[in-house]
A and B are shown apart, each in its own frame.
Chain A
Amino acid sequence: MGLTFNTETFRGDFTFHNSPAAIRRFPFPFDRDDYMYSVNMEPHVPGPKGTVFEHNFDVDEHYLSEMRDRALVLAEDPLRCQSLPHMTLAGWDLLELIMESKARDYPDLFELHKNGNRWHWINRPMQIDQSFTFLDETTLPYGPMEYITRQAQGDFTLQDQRDDNLWIEAGMVTTQADWSLDFDIGMGFHEWHAPVPKAHELGVFDRALKFLLKLQHGAPVRRFNWTMTVDPLLDTSPENYPVWGPTRAMITPGNVGSRMHLRVELQTLHRLPRSNAIAFPIRCYLIRFDELVTIPKWGRRLHRVIRDLPVELATYKGFERNRATMVDYLARFDDGAPTSPGWMPDPE
């Protein structure tokens, strides 16, 4: 399928970049010219060929570099990956889901062979060839969740379901938008969403929880979230704040196009069959402003969304102080023409 993996960094010299093809398939999150919170969930069914929705778990040109960055984060701070003792079975469920999906969707990159509980996993891009016994932790170099999420882009959390609530009790979180697994682990659904402004008043979380408690195996759902990040830093964690916090004060009209990034999370939710837990993959996509505006529709629309966003949301997402600079830059790409419905780029 001709996927070529970039050699790039998400720290230090920040050589991360999107190829023109990666820009066109970027999951632009705005389907209209304004934005407000909603329970914006839809079935996670295979999308059009070439989009990030084509497969259950998208593998793109950043795969190997993202996995290298994850290994660096974990080496510095092992607490980014935690699993409470009762979540091991959910970890196996997740391992099975990811291995089966990738082997089915990318047969030239991944293979999974099963003989009863004797499994053989081949990850060609990462040069991994592993035989192990399903449900036997001693046959893998890490616990099942850590093992497979060191080989899968995006963050992952596992939610146990009990007492009509969801409890975040395991996760691999190294590419997060300013939240901490170590802080949140053990919290219930409303607790870990407590910092989000406005959505509680709208009843969004009550409805979302009610919906998720009934999520069925085999019927995953997805939603988007988004924010802004200065420089292509995947690990914008609270633990790491001294590294990235000050960069918010370094944005100027001259560098906003090359340093400000739209950060989009494609979040999917999957009921896990053996544990009855819910897996929550949070896949992060980054795009520089000067890459994004090469799609004229997106340049026009992002200008309008950012200009008109309620101040609470811009503050929560951490870019209120740079909003004027961002809007001035984006205004140059907004000629006032109407935008077409939906988020897809217009045909060239």
Chain B
Amino acid sequence: MSVGAPKIPVTVAEVTEVNDLIKRFRFVRRDGGPMPPFSGGAHVVVEMDDHGTRRMNPYSLMGDPADSTGYCISVRRDEAGRGGSLYMHHHVRPGMQMVLGAPVNLFALDARAREHLLIAGGIGITPFIAQMAQLEALGGRFELHYAARNRALGAYMPALRAAYGDRVHTYFDDERQLIDLPALLAGQPLGTHLYVCGPKGMIGWVRASAEAAGWPRATVHHEEFLAPPVGVPFTVDLAASGKVITVGASQSLLEAIEAAGVEAPYLCRGGACGQCETAVLACDGHIQHNDHWLTDDQKASGTRIMPCVSRFEGRTLVLDR
């Protein structure tokens, strides 16, 4: 069973410097045709050929889903990361040819919601830009609470204010402005759904506050893509394909499997969707489970691994792949 939709060959149409940390990229189809429609909250995997290293990073689509002329993403430069965002910032120019995966939505709006309460931190604003465009077109009710480190880094704030007026609320850390979450959560009408996208600390804070305020679990939505962490190189035995591979310090296990020519399923490449779940046949050592997919029991059992973000330390790891 394959879940693979056709990939989208694109040309980079525009590269825009949004602020010191963020660049926006716009892609159009190489054949000039329309992009597939998508739903607000969807992401695409951008394939990069970084001087011989294949990188595949997921980014939220931030354009208006009704605009089929192109896709837009925003990339925050991460100096300490493995290099995907640096490649996008330093090497991607208008006119370059790249490949995108088909859109996948792991952060969908709940269409039944009476109101959508959107809470963004920093670059976490991007999926909400697409969602607000879609809600506006369909007459959905929403309000956005968007926090950034300072005014200079508050990407897209003026445009969002211009488009949505007092439904957009902004907060700046360096001006000691904090979202008054308890009051905000207490004041929502019945049937409101809560969505949060931003740094790990913010997601935890919002989810814990909602739970403490008695919000049903199914009304609280979050999206957190993990960047695969760097680590110590390790060796893995791929039993099904009869190969032994070495995972480099700044390479993910999934990337190493792919680099060995072994096909492995994936969707989000960020530890969230579960698509790349792989059976562990033997393990003498410690699996560093970095994903949000496996349960604590599954992680403790050492019988499953998510190769997109998880690593290994020890003598032997044998996978059914």
**A218 CA to B35 CA, complexed, in Å:** 12
Pair count A-B, CB < 8 A = 70
Name B5's contact: one of A87, A162, A217 (CB within 8 Å).
Answer: A217
Number of interface residues of B (CB under 8 A): 29
Contact (Cβ within 8 A) B104 A216: yes
- Whether the pair A216, B218 counts as a contact (CB closer than 8 A) is no
Q: Is the CB of A218 within 8 A of B102?
A: yes
- The interface residues of chain A lying within 8 Å CB-to-CB of B86 are none
Segment from A245-253, A269-277, A312-320 that makes contact with B: A269-277
Are A273 and B218 in touch, CB under 8 angstroms? Answer: no
Q: Which of B5, B37, B39, B42 has the most CB of A within 10 A?
A: B39
A161 CB-CB contact with B under 8 Å: yes
Number of interface residues of A (CB under 8 A): 27
Docked CA distance A331–B246 (Å)? 60
Question: Across the interface, do A273 and B1 meet the contact criterion of CB distance under 8 Å?
Answer: no
Contact partner of B37 (CB less than 8 A), chosen from A87, A162, A163, A274, is A274
Residue of B nearest to A167 (CB): B112
Closest B residue, CB atoms, query A207: B1
A273–B111 touching, CB < 8 Å: no
Contact A217 B103 (CB under 8 A): yes
Do B38 and A215 touch across chains, with their CB atoms under 8 A apart? no
Residues of A within 8 A of B170 (CB): none
A93 to B38, CA, bound (A): 10
Kindly list chain A residues whose C-beta atoms are within 8 Å of the C-beta of B2.
43, 219
Check B201 for interface membership: any CB of A closer than 8 A: no
Is A89 in the interface zone, CB < 8 Å from B? Answer: yes
Chain B interface helix/strand/loop/mixed: loop
Query: Using Cβ atoms and an 8 Å threshold, which residues of chain A touch B103?
Result: 217, 273
Asked if B6 CB lies within 8 Å of chain A CBs, one says yes
> Given the complex, which residues of B lie within 8 Å of A96, measured CB to CB?
37
Least Cβ–Cβ distance between B215 and chain A, in angstroms = 14
Residues of B within 8 A of A42 (CB): 1
Instruction: Type the 1/0 row for A83-100, where 1 means its CB is closer than 8 Å to any CB of B.
Output: 000110100010010000
| Contact A275/B111 with A135-B137, A162-B218, A216-B104 known, Cβ cut-off 8 Å | yes
User: Which residue of the partner chain B has the closest CB to A85?
Assistant: B112
- Complex formed: what's the CA distance from A86 to B1 in Å? 31
Given A162-B218, A163-B218, A214-B267, are A219 and B3 neighbors across the interface (CB < 8 Å)?
A: yes
What's the Cα separation between A87 and B108 when bound, in Å? 14
Q: Are B4 and A219 in contact (CB under 8 A)?
A: yes
Of B102, B137, B267, the residue contacting A217 (CB under 8 A) is B102
**Is B190's CB within 8 Å of the partner chain A?**
no
Supposing A89-B138, A217-B102 touch, asked if A162 and B6 sit within 8 A by C-beta, the answer is no
In the assembled complex, 23 residue pairs joining A and B whose CB atoms fall closer than 8 Å, in A order, are A39-B1, A43-B2, A86-B111, A86-B112, A87-B111, A89-B138, A93-B37, A135-B137, A135-B138, A160-B112, A162-B108, A162-B110, A214-B104, A214-B273, A214-B275, A215-B3, A216-B5, A216-B102, A217-B102, A218-B36, A273-B38, A275-B39, A275-B111
User: A218-B102, A274-B134 given. 10 additional CB < 8 A pairs?
Assistant: A43-B1, A89-B111, A96-B37, A160-B112, A211-B1, A216-B104, A219-B102, A273-B38, A273-B39, A274-B37
